[in-house]
Amino acid sequence: MTVTIVGSQLGDEGKGALVDLWGGDADVVVRYQGGDNAGHTVVEGGTEYKLSLVPSGAVRGKVGVLGNGCVVNPNTLFSEIDDLRDRGLDPDVRVAERAHVILPYHRVLDGIEEKAKSGSDLAAGTTKRGIGPTYEDKAGRRGVRVGDLLDSDVLRDRLEYVVPQKRALADAVYGLDVDEGEHADAFDVDALFERYRAIGERLADEEMTVNAGDFLGNRLDGGDELLFEGAQGTSIDIDHGIYPFVTSSNPTAGGAATGTGVGPTVIGRGEVVGIVKAYLSRVGTGPLPTELDGNKADEELADYIREKGGEFGTVTGRPRRIGWLDMPMLRHATRANGFTGLAVNHIDVLAGLDAIKVGHAYELNGETIETMPSTTERWGDCEPVLRSFEPWPEVDWTDVSESGYDAIPENAQAYLEYISDELDVLIYAIGVGPDREETIALANPFEQ
């Protein structure tokens, strides 16, 4: 069967802890979208591994697959694999031949486009990993796919077609010197060809490339359990998120089908678990109706939650914006993904506060609405209808995680029950601390 883990908010919901928890029961861990804009920390045997591309299961001896919906920076891929090998591991990572390759000019263009947009309402605050420009080329049918790296004639043809366009864009639109200086190699067909042909050779030597749909289909036929590891979150999905402040892929559950070649009926017969952070965090720009800002008390509270929850970007180190839990956002995510279960993280971070609030609904033009409007401008006009919850005290969360659900302070239980009741979805796990062991498992999706 398959279990798909999806971020229900804006990314950084703590999906990694659940991938760790349930990945133990999986044979193959698959990423279906995004690239090295994601960041996850895996702790195995007391050692910490920071990964942004390699699926975290690879640290645990599982097969890790990057599906066709991913955009792959081979330099990041090899540097993560080499690092894991240096640390004594033997990761087994397969890459879809249909996945698109992030080339150096994508990263350069991501950086200069964000710079050009800075100060305007359009800046998305990207991770500058070249994600958007690579997906643009995929949709524009001028991308380079992993399979193209294996065939030097095809690779040369692709580069000869696309690189002059990129040079013209960088030069004429952004005024970048593409012939001299630090970016020259990024726009040079010969340099790119040599470098990426060598990458193709390494991928072939290590037998890393696969037809992802066939590979995963065969695994399923053989009785393997598959865990699909979504990156980012529903509200930064290119279709269902707060466009244009979104990433360029589909973190939502449908992406698990299109991004791997496993059919939607197979994914739908499995479990789709939404990962919820008990409050909101946002790295990047755009509106955020339940944001804690605008007055000193709220900003101090945001600072406190940010520090306590370690809310700084894993990839970029940027401080994250903080807000109360947003229920319209979660209702939207529940419908868009068809969640069969939830995991709620970080309830410990809210412990000891004087008051806890939740954005239960929005007020928009005198009307109360319960889901997100489809334009980001209208979303920005929404005033949250806040509901107060009784706060819960600071307790020894390690004890709580050892004792189980009943040891969770009553008011926190009421908060969890409210979320589950509102969304009409059961909670499978609760994160009560930063360590991976500090997760209370109520149900295992592989056993549902």
Name the residue nearer to ligand IMP (CB basis): 129 or 158.
129
Interface residues for ligand IMP in 44-83 (CB under 6 A)? none
Radius of gyration of the chain (CA): 22
**Residue 114: CB minimum distance to ligand IMP, A:** 9
Return the residue of 4, 11, 196, 430 that touches ligand IMP, per CB under 6 A: 11
Instruction: Give the three-state DSSP class for 401.
Output: helix
Name the residue nearer to ligand IMP (CB basis): 143 or 147.
143
**Near ligand IMP by CB under 6 A, which window of 176-184, 240-248, 289-297, 346-354?**
240-248
**Residue 82: CB minimum distance to ligand IMP, A:** 23
Name the residue nearer to ligand IMP (CB basis): 248 or 439.
248
Return the residue of 92, 116, 125, 395 that touches ligand IMP, per CB under 6 A: 125
Residue 38 touching ligand IMP (CB under 6 A): yes
Active site residues: 12, 40
**Near ligand IMP by CB under 6 A, which window of 125-133, 149-157, 268-276, 439-447?**
125-133
Return the residue of 131, 186, 276, 342 that touches ligand IMP, per CB under 6 A: 131
**Residue 319: CB minimum distance to ligand IMP, A:** 12
CA distances from 415 to 388, 394, 410, 445 (A): 10, 15, 9, 22
* Cα(225)–Cα(111) distance, integer angstroms: 39
Name the residue nearer to ligand IMP (CB basis): 68 or 73.
73
**Near ligand IMP by CB under 6 A, which window of 118-126, 183-191, 267-275, 395-403?**
118-126
* Cα(337)–Cα(28) distance, integer angstroms: 21
Report how many residues bind ligand IMP under the rule CB under 6 A: 20
**Residue 214: CB minimum distance to ligand IMP, A:** 28
| Paired tokens of 57 | 């299961």
**Residue 13: CB minimum distance to ligand IMP, A:** 9
Instruction: Give the three-state DSSP class for 368.
Output: strand
Return the residue of 5, 124, 159, 329 that touches ligand IMP, per CB under 6 A: 124
Residue type, 426: L
Residue 132 touching ligand IMP (CB under 6 A): yes
Q: Which residues of 244-263 are buried (b: 16+ CB within 10 A; e: fewer)?
A: ebbbbbbbbbbbbbbbbbbe
Return the residue of 236, 242, 267, 372 that touches ligand IMP, per CB under 6 A: 236
One DSSP character per residue, 14-47 reads: -HHHHHHHHHTT-SEEEE-SB-TT--EEEEETTE
Structural contact between residues 29 and 51, judged by C-beta atoms closer than 8 angstroms: no
**Token match 């920071």: residue?**
50
Alpha helix positions (H), 309-373: 327-337
Residue 379 touching ligand IMP (CB under 6 A): no
**Residue 118: CB minimum distance to ligand IMP, A:** 13
Q: Where are the beta strands (DSSP E) in 180-316?
A: 209-210, 226-229, 271-277, 280-282
Q: Which residues of 185-211 are buried (b: 16+ CB within 10 A; e: fewer)?
A: ebbbeeebbeebbebbeebeeeebbbb
Residue 37 touching ligand IMP (CB under 6 A): yes
Residue 283 touching ligand IMP (CB under 6 A): yes
Structural contact between residues 3 and 270, judged by C-beta atoms closer than 8 angstroms: yes
Structural contact between residues 41 and 238, judged by C-beta atoms closer than 8 angstroms: no
Evaluate the CA torsion angle 276, 313, 382, 253 in order and state its sign: negative
Return the residue of 2, 68, 209, 247 that touches ligand IMP, per CB under 6 A: 247
Footprint of ligand IMP (CB under 6 A): 11-12, 37-39, 124-127, 129, 131-132, 231-232, 236, 245, 247-248, 283-284
